[in-house]
């Protein structure tokens, strides 16, 4: 019984931690995605897109975490290679975003979590983008929630 109790506490802790681990990364407030960010967000959502040419069989995959700079002008994301189990830390995608802000916008910026897999989490929303959504449908969803003009 003692081991069962420890196991149960461990499961509860893990569930609680995993559900709240990304909370401090989530973005909030008004944001408009730049045309570049929109283009790459659609790429991020498309599992058939080559995410990384140098990865051989793992070049395809589904978008995992998508971060945007608070002004919507830059981004960074990670993907989960096809056929793999992923539990990626948000740090990698966040760092990619910060690096892009520095490289392309020539300044420092804060990057926040915009989407987890196919769900937009900005402003505590839980907007699921359907798997078979077309580019036009994705744009329509983003427009309806004021993420693009």
Quote the CA–CA distance of 116 and 28 in Å, as a whole number: 14
Quick one: which of 26, 24, 41, 66 has its CA closest to 142?
A: 41
CA-to-CA dists, residue 6 to 18, 96, 119, angstroms: 18, 38, 33
Global pTM value: 0.78
What pLDDT sits at residue 16? Answer: 47
At 104-142, the pLDDT tens digits run 999 999 999 999 999 999 999 999 999 999 999 999 999
Neighbouring C-alpha atoms within 13 Å toward the C-beta of 18: 9
When pLDDT is averaged across residues 50-69 and rounded to a whole number, the result is 72
Q: Beta strands 75-81 and 61-69: pairing type? A: antiparallel
Q: What is the pLDDT of residue 46?
A: 87
pLDDT for position 79: 85
Average pLDDT, the chain: 83
Buried b (16+ CB within 10 A) or exposed e, 56-81: eeeebbbbbbbbbbeebbbbbbbbbb
pLDDT at 80: 83
Task: Decide: 67 and 114 in contact? Cβ < 8 Å.
Answer: yes
- What is the structure's pLDDT at 106? 95
């Amino acid at each position: 019984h003692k081991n069962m109790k420890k196991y149960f506490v461990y499961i509860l802790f893990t569930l609680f931690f995993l559900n709240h681990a990304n909370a401090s990364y989530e973005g909030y407030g008004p944001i408009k995605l730049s045309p570049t960010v929109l283009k790459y967000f659609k790429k991020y959502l498309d599992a058939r897109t080559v995410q990384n040419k140098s990865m051989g069989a793992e070049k395809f995959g589904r978008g995992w975490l998508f971060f945007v700079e608070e002004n919507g002008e830059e981004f960074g994301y990670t993907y989960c290679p096809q056929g793999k189990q992923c539990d990626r830390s948000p740090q990698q995608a966040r760092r990619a975003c910060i690096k892009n802000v520095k490289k392309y916008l020539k300044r420092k910026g804060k990057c926040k979590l915009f989407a987890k897999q196919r769900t937009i989490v900005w402003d505590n929303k839980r907007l699921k983008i359907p798997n078979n959504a077309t580019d036009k449908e994705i744009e329509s969803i983003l427009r309806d929630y004021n993420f693009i003009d």
